[in-house]
Amino acid sequence: MIVREEGADRLTLGHLAVRAGVSKPVTYEHFETRTGLLINLYRWIDTERITAFRTLMAQDNRPARETVSALAKTYLACGTDQGDEFHAVGAALAGSEEKAGVYQELVDAVIEMFVEVLRPHSSLRPESLALASAALVAAGDALTSAVTRGNCSASEAAEVFSNLIGAVVQGKV
């Protein structure tokens, strides 16, 4: 993948055409703009993450402690499986209103997943749980980035994230 090997800045329609062995008009016909390419790529990566997350979190009726641990490990694993590409493409999307809108749409979907998983174990009001989940998603993304950059181990990040999620479940936020 271009982003993994060369960075998000090198992901252009022209460079993609060369790497894919197709003519430039083919890539422009499919994506129209670099923004379109980035949005499609980010949605694809995010769909892969969400699918993996839902699969791993599918077990019902877990006790709160198991849910917290599974949520922390699963979210971090889904993020680190994509390496730093997800964060690089996400950063590239931050440059325009259209990109920011797509990014926020995808973040909102992840926040809703956290709310769904934590709701049975939390006594927080729905609005408070949604806000806390937004903070957890941001923290999880920061921890994922720290792991992929080698700033901490996956187990260290999982422990910290579990503690944060546990505080939300216990209403200590």
Query: Can you read off the two tokens belonging to residue 134?
Result: 């937004």
Cα–Cα distance measured from residue 61 to residue 121, given in angstroms and rounded to the nearest whole number: 10
Residue 11 domain-assigned (yes or no): no
Residue for token pair 């749980």: 129
Residue 4 domain-assigned (yes or no): no
Each residue of 67-115: pLDDT tens digit?
A: 899 899 988 887 776 555 666 676 676 667 777 788 788 889 889 989 9
Residue 12 domain-assigned (yes or no): no
Residue for token pair 């729905």: 126
Residue 17 domain-assigned (yes or no): no
Residue 117 domain-assigned (yes or no): yes
CATH label of the domain that carries residue 145: 1.10.357.10
Enclosing domain of residue 62: 43-169
Residue 10 domain-assigned (yes or no): no
Residue 36 domain-assigned (yes or no): no
- Residue 167: which pLDDT band, with cuts at 50, 70 and 90? very high
Domain total in the chain: 1
Cα–Cα distance measured from residue 10 to residue 120, given in angstroms and rounded to the nearest whole number: 44
* DSSP structure class, residue 32: S
Residue 70 domain-assigned (yes or no): yes
Give the mean model confidence (pLDDT) for residues 118-136.
Answer: 94
Whether the CB-CB separation of 104 and 153 falls below 8 Å is answered with no
pTM, two decimals, is 0.72
Cα–Cα distance measured from residue 50 to residue 161, given in angstroms and rounded to the nearest whole number: 18
Question: Does residue 6 have a pLDDT over 90?
Answer: no
